């Protein structure tokens, strides 16, 4: 089998680096070009010296007339607004597209506009006609649509942990929907490669904080997906926090259990929901749930707990924000889009400690 | 004025060390003896070399017949079960007592027994007759009783952040009491000085986790104090997490706002409640709330936020677990018990970064 | 080709975990049994939950009569004293042996005794007759002997960085041999899995220190190997330090350059010496040398610098102490002992950030 | 006694923040104005929220005509080139000056020019006539001159640790002067407040590196001061490293011991040299030397060791780069310039853990 040629746009960021690491190990895909507007001409291994000898491709400008374009799939590891401009031309050339941003996470214009307003984006979507054919790239929920699609909106990192942590409960209607609170803690790598005062080592090494309280943009896709599962609108309270570690999102999800539910019934619901999903591991309350357990891997660990005193279901949902929360999901989606085994190139445990 | 002589029992732990640091700067108190069962005979500065030249007192065994006993106040920086045994003899000698553990946090035996059951303590309280005269040592709530008491049960670190974050709302009845969720994140120093596998550097530097989900013992004193404010029982959901930093507790508190309440009315309630409390700083939602802002100081920072979409009040409450959450509260209580200005020896900002 | 069956003794430590991670990816080897005296009966994935689904073998006691013994190779991921007792019986059964400790790093009894004295070991070596057939397992120096040997003493982590950083200079006689100083900085994982006061998170997160100044045991094997290259005794000054990170050794090596030497001549010597060594990457002075560049990989990065003002050669030598400094070298040696390509299962870049 | 009015120029950086923290506790000094070109108009407690209630002065532009100028002393917490321009006008107004940069660390133009060349500074010194009256602000070496001076060049952080670690040995001629190697490890705060890619949390949390190998500018002042003590030129090899912690410099100093010297004679030399220096603590080899022992304090801890095998003196010298290495030295110098007790406002142990 000839290898799938992958072009990565926005290759110089953590999202590009993560895709390179994963595709290096992938038996049926290869990196065809690394495209970015910054650091043009430099080998990627200058930016990421651990890649020396593994991937030394130079970064090409998207404006370079010699920029190759014979890819079977393009990863847009770029911020909002980039993929929606460039996707049409790539699709026309026959490439499939996986976009990391919010550009194609909502398959109707109305919902996208609500999202766009939240992130302060005032321009219209530049490819609104593509939205209906885009698929939300959380594989566990949309595997079949992804397999038939050429355009996938890769999910947000927080959203992955929230949606995987809540979907079985919503689908099976075992919780009170208006009682959902997601308290998320993320490592710093989620903020990307560019240095900022808040993530300067001395400011961060012994510091944690809440931010965008009640206002983070990922809440939109969480509510969207939960709404699709429930078949009506759902609103959640979501508060993100940054803690001083590098990789990992731990979301603690609270919801009032419905009448007659208990830990056992909850476990059955979750085990059943994820019975065919290799990358979701469901644990009971006795299991430790430490973020490092999923570091460097494409797994989501879910721990189920019930507070008998208050009748609350408490789900702890863990992902590595750079793998299952980003590049890993992108490769998982690529596998499905090309008819490969979903786990190809993704079955490794990470390293510890 | 002669200096208050302070004896510290359990001096070798972080709680003892914190008291030494604070009392070194205190103009009206001095350390008379450092008592512990471990490291007997060693100067404290062998255990904590930063104290070299500041406090080089040797550690004395509590069983040493030459152990001095002419203290005006004794700090029990000890685990549950120690203070309740020894407090009577110290009180008889005329010393006042501040106990860091749960031994004297509940001034009736029935409530204590509920707490004891939760921590798996099977022995009876050894000084049940002392309980009625003990006072819960959260200064902001019990200042006047503390000033008249000789026996104070210093509050738990998580409890300080929860209770200070919730008291105004409970007192003013502006939230739905059965909707309260406290999601707490603590630095590792809260677990004390003794090394454990979970807090070994390689296991912790890039790892966070939830623990004692729905089962942490501090929930008892939070519910107790909130119940006293509300004049009836209150139940909360409380989940603690450990994140890889040293000092700081950040508790994110969620509660459904009552009818007619909004951010402005909430701010008035909190500002009014804490108008005379130097160590509680109330901020609006625009202010950054980073744990390092209170590191090394006796302050509690409270940030008030309202999620308009879900009608939730979201309070972020920050303390340094080793200062306002432990030794700082002990000194604050001592000041009040001896008629000193409450802030004596405690007004410093910590160091940054 | 049938897979090589590997038994790991001392499987529960970081050295065992590292071998499992590497062998999971190895196309021609498989783990046959995990043997340890602690945590007997538990699946290894209870100790290391990131291995869940990848390796769930239970830990077997070495004293268990049902402990399997049909291995082609045994890794002793154990402290000094274990391998020397057990190796003979494994060798008799036809297994090859790679020992992580100092037990087989010295192929004559006299040298071993000097080493043993330094680590305070008073017992005699229990298999002195095996010493002459043992080989020091730094592949780059002893590749050919390793390929013919059944008994390899895997090198110490500090020693790997020092010896690889110095060998070309010693071999080519371009430095003054009595001027060598190795200043080594290690992450905390080098101290293993067991918690200690010095590596308790709160004691370590913002703390670095020197230790065993002039007395670390790895100096013996460094001097031994350098002496073999020089054909006479060499003494070095070596000081290890612990810094608050998890993986990585950075050794800064100082030596007076010989007459007529300069940066260019030094680079030629090093490039030439390592021209066939995939896992050693030689860089000039302009290249950043950051420990994370080798994290999780089997590479040693060497940066060459000359201080013109003082005539000093300054070599910065980087390894991941748990890979090239431990389990990676073990697998590299295994590959060679079994006639496999040296890089089998080892060619991956690690993950970043 | 009226309080000394201190103006801080460059107040918004870590060096300004450190001075504010120290002067807040100083009984005889007060902050009169905070001057900076950035963040003009903002209260300093917006930049450093831990100062809220302690120092809320707004930042004033140096170009503001209403900028106060009635200071008794001005701290230039500014980079090279600022103090040399502005110092003359402040001195004329009668203020004393302490400059944190290299502008006044060399009291003759020739030496300054050598330094300037190294840092790539091409402009001439703008106040060359002031150089002869400037004093190098390492109190322990120049106490008496500082007491008579109005212009002090505060020492560099690395230089403090190197010079204090070497001065007794140089002065007493107990080492071979051409054998000196200083291997320094610093926390990240030494690089200041501005975020950079190398100090972005994800890039730094698990990463250490050497930098400016053989080329750091502090080597000039170290050689200058050692040369003054020896009465002839001295050259050293100096390599700085960055490790992932916030505060602290640990310099490991190597030098060949002279004939007849041993640990005991070395200890006598050091103890004698520093017998009147409160802020230098000399320890023997058995003492732990952990950077956190001096964190937040103005102390320099020195540990003396001899490697009997190679005849090397190994001195471990520890300072907090932001206190003894910066703001603490500035306050110490101010105390002396104003005839105060040298330790005023500086005698506290820091906090632990």
Chains B and C form CB pairs within 8 A to the count of: 60
pLDDT of C214 higher than 80: no
Contact C66, C48 (CB under 8 A): no
pLDDT at C287: 78
Q: Chain A residue with minimal CA distance to C292?
A: A50
Write out pLDDT tens, residues C109-143: 999 999 999 999 999 999 999 999 999 999 999 99
Measured CA to CA, the distance from residue B46 to residue D283 in angstroms comes to 12
Measured CA to CA, the distance from residue A104 to residue A91 in angstroms comes to 14
Q: Chain B residue with minimal CA distance to C203?
A: B193
User: Mean pLDDT, to the nearest integer, of B78-85?
Assistant: 98
Chains A and D form CB pairs within 8 A to the count of: 60
Measured CA to CA, the distance from residue A88 to residue A73 in angstroms comes to 13
pLDDT at B217: 87
| Band of pLDDT at residue D287, cut at 50, 70 and 90 | confident
Q: C123: which residues sit within 8 A by CB, 6+ positions away?
A: C81
Percent over 90 (pLDDT), chain B: 97
Measured CA to CA, the distance from residue B300 to residue B344 in angstroms comes to 17
Domains and CATH numbers, chain C: 4-155+324-337 (3.40.50.720), 157-321 (3.30.360.10)
Nearest Cα of chain C lies from the Cα of B188 at a distance, in angstroms, of 6
Neighbours of C181 (CB within 10 A): 23
| Band of pLDDT at residue B216, cut at 50, 70 and 90 | confident
pLDDT of C1 higher than 80: no
Handedness of CA B214, B218, B220, B226 (dihedral sign): negative
Interface test with A, best of C49, C51, C204, C207 (most A CBs within 10 A): C49
Query: Can you list the alpha helix ranges (DSSP code H) found in chain A?
Result: 14-24, 44-47, 83-92, 109-118, 139-148, 157-171, 201-204, 218-230, 263-273, 328-337
Pick the catalytic residue from A17, A157, A182, A300: A157
Catalytic sites of C, residue numbers: 157
**CA triple D81-D84-D87, angle to 5 deg:** 135
Characterize B204-224 residue by residue with b for buried, 16 or more Cβ atoms within 10 angstroms of its Cβ, and e for exposed.
Answer: bbbbbbbbebbbbbbbbbbbb
Q: A268: which residues sit within 8 A by CB, 6+ positions away?
A: none
Q: For chain B, which residues lie within 8 Å of any Cβ of chain C, measuring from their own Cβ?
A: 14, 187-189, 193-197, 199-202, 204-206, 244-246
Write out pLDDT tens, residues C2-59: 999 999 999 999 999 999 999 999 999 999 999 999 999 999 999 999 999 999 999 9
User: Mean pLDDT, to the nearest integer, of B217-240?
Assistant: 96
CB pair distance less than 8 Å for C292 and D203: yes
CB pair distance less than 8 Å for D210 and C237: no
> Taking the model in full, what pTM does it have?
0.98
Q: For residue C204, which residues of chain B lie inside 8 Å, CB to CB? A: 201
| Band of pLDDT at residue D288, cut at 50, 70 and 90 | confident
Closest CA to B274 of B133, B165, B125, B131: B165
**CA triple C152-C155-C161, angle to 5 deg:** 150
| Band of pLDDT at residue B115, cut at 50, 70 and 90 | very high
Q: A236: which residues sit within 8 A by CB, 6+ positions away?
A: A162, A180, A181, A182, A219, A222, A223, A226, B310
CB pair distance less than 8 Å for A246 and D199: no
Candidate from C21, C52, C352 with C-beta closest to A281: C52
Which two three-digit tokens encode residue D186? 């610093």
Helix axes A14-24, A328-337, angle to 10 degrees: 50
Torsions phi, psi of B250, nearest 5? -120, 115
Measured CA to CA, the distance from residue B241 to residue A312 in angstroms comes to 17
Candidate from A195, A197, A204 with C-beta closest to D197: A195
Question: Does ipTM exceed 0.85?
Answer: yes
Range of lowest pLDDT (A275-289, B96-110, C317-331): A275-289
Mean pLDDT, chain C, integer: 97
Give strand ranges (E) for A278-322.
Answer: 280-283, 300-307, 312-319
Interface test with B, best of A290, A302, A352 (most B CBs within 10 A): A290
Interface test with D, best of A13, A17, A191, A202 (most D CBs within 10 A): A202
Concerning whether D157 is annotated as a catalytic residue, the answer is yes
Contact D353, B246 (CB under 8 A): yes
pLDDT at D156: 98
User: Mean pLDDT, to the nearest integer, of D184-192?
Assistant: 97
CB pair distance less than 8 Å for B349 and D290: no
Q: Which residues of chain A have pLDDT under 70?
A: none
Which two three-digit tokens encode residue A104? 């194609």
CB pair distance less than 8 Å for A246 and D200: no
Contact D104, D152 (CB under 8 A): yes
Which two three-digit tokens encode residue B248? 């700081």
Pick the catalytic residue from D157, D162, D182, D300: D157
pLDDT at C10: 98
pLDDT at D269: 98
pLDDT of D26 higher than 90: yes
Q: D259: which residues sit within 8 A by CB, 6+ positions away?
A: none
Which two three-digit tokens encode residue C68? 């399997």
Q: Give, as one character, the DSSP assignment of residue B63.
A: T
Which two three-digit tokens encode residue A324? 């299952």
Write out pLDDT tens, residues A42-58: 999 999 999 999 999 99
Handedness of CA B73, B74, B77, B78 (dihedral sign): negative
Q: What is the largest CA-CA distance in chain C?
A: 66
Cα→Cα distances A325→A18, A186, C133, C305, D42, Å: 11, 11, 51, 41, 38
Percent over 70 (pLDDT), chain B: 100
Q: For residue A245, which residues of chain D lie inside 8 Å, CB to CB? A: 205
Measured CA to CA, the distance from residue C131 to residue C106 in angstroms comes to 7
Contact B153, B138 (CB under 8 A): no
Q: Please compute Rg for chain A using Cα positions.
A: 20
Measured CA to CA, the distance from residue B188 to residue C124 in angstroms comes to 43
Measured CA to CA, the distance from residue A156 to residue D23 in angstroms comes to 47
Measured CA to CA, the distance from residue B35 to residue B41 in angstroms comes to 10
For every residue of A27-95, DSSP letters joined together read TTEEEEEEE-SSSTTSBHHHHSGGGTTT--PBEE-TT-TT-----SEEEE---TTTHHHHHHHHHHTT-
Closest CA to B118 of B5, B220, B255: B220
User: Mean pLDDT, to the nearest integer, of D83-106?
Assistant: 98
Place of tokens 């080998």: A43
Mean pLDDT, chain B, integer: 97
């Amino acid at each position: 089998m000839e290898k799938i040629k992958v072009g990565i746009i926005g290759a110089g960021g953590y999202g590009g680096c993560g895709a390179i690491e994963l595709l290096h190990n992938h038996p049926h895909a290869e990196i065809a070009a690394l495209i970015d507007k910054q650091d043009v001409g430099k080998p990627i291994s200058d930016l990421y010296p651990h890649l020396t000898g593994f991937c030394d491709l130079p970064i090409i400008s998207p404006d370079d007339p010699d920029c190759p374009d014979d890819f079977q799939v393009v990863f847009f590891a770029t911020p909002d607004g980039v993929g929606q401009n460039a996707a049409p031309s790539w699709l026309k050339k026959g490439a499939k597209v996986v976009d990391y941003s919010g550009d194609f996470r909502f398959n109707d214009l109305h919902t996208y506009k609500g999202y766009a307003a939240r992130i302060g984006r005032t321009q219209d979507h530049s490819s609104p006609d593509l939205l209906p054919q885009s698929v939300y790239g959380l594989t566990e929920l949309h595997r079949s649509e992804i397999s038939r699609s050429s355009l996938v909106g890769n999910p947000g990192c927080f959203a992955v942990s929230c949606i995987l942590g809540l979907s079985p409960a919503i689908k099976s209607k075992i919780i009170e929907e208006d009682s959902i609170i997601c308290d998320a803690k993320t490592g710093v790598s989620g903020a990307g490669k560019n240095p900022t005062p808040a993530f300067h080592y001395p400011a961060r090494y012994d510091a944690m904080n809440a931010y965008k309280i009640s206002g983070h943009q990922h809440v939109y896709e969480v509510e969207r997906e939960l709404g699709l599962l429930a078949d009506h609108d759902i609103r959640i309270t979501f508060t993100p926090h940054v803690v001083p570690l590098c990789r990992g999102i731990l979301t603690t999800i609270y919801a009032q259990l419905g009448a007659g539910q208990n830990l056992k019934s909850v476990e059955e619901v979750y085990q059943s929901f994820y019975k065919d999903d290799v990358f979701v591991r469901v644990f009971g309350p006795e299991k430790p749930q430490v973020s490092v357990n999923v570091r460097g891997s494409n797994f989501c660990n879910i721990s189920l707990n019930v507070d008998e005193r208050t009748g609350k279901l408490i789900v702890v949902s863990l992902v590595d924000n750079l793998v299952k929360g980003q590049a890993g999901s992108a490769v998982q989606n690529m596998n499905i889009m090309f008819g490969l085994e979903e786990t190809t190139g993704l079955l490794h445990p990470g390293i510890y400690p």
